[in-house]
Amino acid sequence: MVEQKISGCKVLVTGAAGFIGSNLVEDLLDHDNEVIGLDNFETGHRVNIEEFQNHQGFTFIEADILDKEACEKACKGVDYVLHQAALGSVPRSIENPIRTNNINVNGFLNIITAARDQKVKRFVYATSSSVYGTEKRLPKVEAKIGRPLSPYAITKHVNEQYARVYFDLYGLETIGLRYFNVFGKKQDPAGAYAAAIPKFIGQLIKHQSPTIHGDGTQSRDFTYIDNVIQANNIAALSTNPVSLGEVFNVAYGESTNLNELIEVLQELLSDFDPEIANVQIKPGEERIGDVRHSLASIVKSQTMLGYRPKYDLQAGLEKAIHWYWNNLQG
């Protein structure tokens, strides 16, 4: 089956200098789209968009989604919005719930309202598996969520509710994508809020024990960036009317615990440096706000959107490992 791609359109990517946003920009430019990138560099990095700056199809707006006028300007004449901008991280939201809410809820409201007012065809937005909270049943099914465990999870749940209401009340076509532990090139390994895979790789390269919160048996549905790119494209282009106003899991549909993840990383990285295989792994303190186990059902995404993820954890890491090795040293 030929993969659907947005082509020959004008697309706004918010959070364009972030990990996922910059990968979306690259894919969109590769398929002859005019791309507007919006970012304020609070968590994104200029280096992620440097390669696009001289591309004739790329326009960058340095602004905050809390700036209503900037949101209106960015949405003008746009066919699709791929909204990735947010203040991510469960621990960050626990430390600063007010800032997290301000950006993730008020900022979201600004950009979705601008999309409505500018008559954008469709608004595709990133939400998160963190909304499942206390729901223990596996795999996670979109209709069954628990009580949120962090301010970040609350903000993403609110986004989903607003998007549904904007579809029901105003007719703005919205689709939410619940990302599960995305990894790949341009992922930031630095800082207290770094995602597990780049953080672990950065530590292993330095022959340091990866920092595991708990005993390492907690599990995640790790999702390679190319699967996320596919999901954004097909969500924007879906002709299935029942998909509108809905949310969909974006994952591979397989669970890997952190001990297993580190074994795979050591194996792949040992091709570059054999000593990495000998790094000892030390358990650490449990982290508050974390969901213990995460595994997505992707049945709804498959049946309603035609989602067909190509990369499991091993295949994704094999594709990304050279980027990680070349960029996470030092």
pLDDT in tens, 72-113: 999 999 999 999 999 988 889 999 999 999 999 999 999 999
Give the model's pLDDT for residue 265. Answer: 95
Domain 10-182+224-254+296-312 is classified in which CATH homologous superfamily?
NAD(P)-binding Rossmann-like Domain (3.40.50.720)
State the average pLDDT over residues 235-259: 97
- Beta strands in the chain, from DSSP E residues, in sequence order: 10-14, 34-39, 58-62, 80-83, 122-128, 173-179, 182-183, 211-213, 219-220, 223-224, 247-250, 256-257, 282-284
- What is this structure's pTM? 0.95
- Which tens digits make up the pLDDT trace of 295-324? 999 999 999 999 999 999 999 999 999 998
DSSP 293: B
Whether the CB-CB separation of 29 and 192 falls below 8 Å is answered with: no
Residues carrying an active site annotation? 152
Residue closest to 237 by CA, chosen among 307, 289, 167, 185: 307
Give the model's pLDDT for residue 174. Answer: 98
Give the model's pLDDT for residue 89. Answer: 85
* Burial class of residue 2 (count of CB atoms within 10 Å of its CB; 0-12, 13-18, 19+): exposed
Length of the chain: 330
Residue 154 scores a pLDDT above 60: yes
* Burial class of residue 54 (count of CB atoms within 10 Å of its CB; 0-12, 13-18, 19+): exposed
Residue 164 scores a pLDDT above 80: yes
**Percent of the chain surpassing pLDDT 90:** 83
